[in-house]
Amino acid sequence: MLKVGLTGGIGAGKSEVSRLLVEYGAVLIDADRIAREVVAPGTPGLAAVVEAFGPDVLTADGTLDRPRLGSIVFADPAKLAVLNSIVHPLVGTRSRELESAVGENAVVVHDVPLLAENALAPLYDLVVVVDTDPATQLDRLIRLRGMTEADARARMAAQATREQRLKIADIVIDNDVPLEQLRTRVRDVWDELERRARPTTPGAPVQGP
């Protein structure tokens, strides 16, 4: 098994890269999706969030009001740290459960938005960073996600810098390019990941970057 950490700043296009990797054959473990599951109604995770931030972070039907919670935590690093201390251990446990169920020759891609921020690179055989210019990120968040400029900048500022992400990268995928170029680059990366996951000599270790 090859364990790959995939990360990138908000608006970098990481979801498109992970979609392409799955298309080519990767097993995806999506930390964002798991983070939603662990705070679903009736879970201990949601109960802990409500205890920490109050019932106002719930919608009328008892689900987590993500925009409201986001406006609270992304404006206050201390509150963001509290939220992360609740959610991240739950996500880690569930991720390990999913990973244990895949085949020994699989390429398992862990899509982890805050990989750099939480110093998680040592957990993976290699780290792939989806890289874009911060101006591109800002434009995508405003134009495609409907965020205000202030909200978009706050969310970007709450993450690692571009330089911090690139520092931990074993492979960089430039996503300031048209989709067809991105597809070609991801295909090349997939071929490399597949090669690393299947050593030519039985029992031989996977070679490092």
Decide: pTM greater than 0.75.
yes
**109 DSSP 8-state letter:** E
Q: At what angle do helices 66-73 and 44-53 cross, to 10 degrees?
A: 50
Instruction: Give the chain's end-to-end CA distance (angstroms, integer).
Output: 15
DSSP state string for 11-77: TS-HHHHHHHHHHHTPEEEEHHHHHHHTTSTTSHHHHHHHHHH-GGGB-TTSSB-HHHHHHHHTT-H
Q: Is residue 163 part of a domain?
A: yes
Mean pLDDT across the stretch 120-140?
Answer: 95
- For the segment 133-154, the average pLDDT, to the nearest whole number, is 92
Domain span at residue 59 reads 2-197
Residues paired with residue 131 on neighbouring β-strands, in sequence order: 174
The band of 200, judged by pLDDT with boundaries at 50, 70 and 90, is low
Distances (CA, A) of 55 to 51, 64, 131: 8, 9, 37
**Would you mind telling me the total number of residues written for the chain in this entry?**
209
**Structural domain includes residue 207:** no
Q: What is the CATH number of the domain that holds 119?
A: 3.40.50.300
Give a yes or no: residue 208 inside a domain. no
What's the total number of domains in the chain?
A: 1
Q: Is residue 123 situated within a structural domain?
A: yes
Q: Percentage helix, strand, coil, to 5, in the chain?
A: 50, 15, 35
Q: How do residues 11-64 score in pLDDT, each as one tens digit?
A: 999 999 999 999 999 999 998 899 999 999 999 999 999 999 999 999 999 999
Whether 202 is in a domain gets the answer no
Tell whether the model's pLDDT for residue 160 goes beyond 60: yes
Question: Do the Cβ atoms of 31 and 118 come closer than 8 Å?
Answer: no
61-98 pLDDT, tens digit per residue, is 999 999 899 889 988 889 999 999 999 899 989 988 99
Sequence-distant (≥ 6) Cβ neighbours of residue 63 within 8 angstroms: 40, 41
User: What crossing angle do the helices spanning 44-53 and 77-99 adopt, rounded to 10°?
Assistant: 180
Task: Give a yes or no: residue 95 inside a domain.
Answer: yes
CA 147, CA 90: separation in Å to the nearest integer? 28
Query: For all residues of the chain together, what is the average pLDDT?
Result: 90
pLDDT value at residue 62: 92
User: What pLDDT does 205 receive?
Assistant: 52
Percentage, residues of the chain above pLDDT 70: 95
pLDDT for 209 equals 45
Q: Based on the number of CB atoms within 10 Å of its own CB, is 134 exposed (0-12), middle (13-18) or buried (19 or more)? A: middle
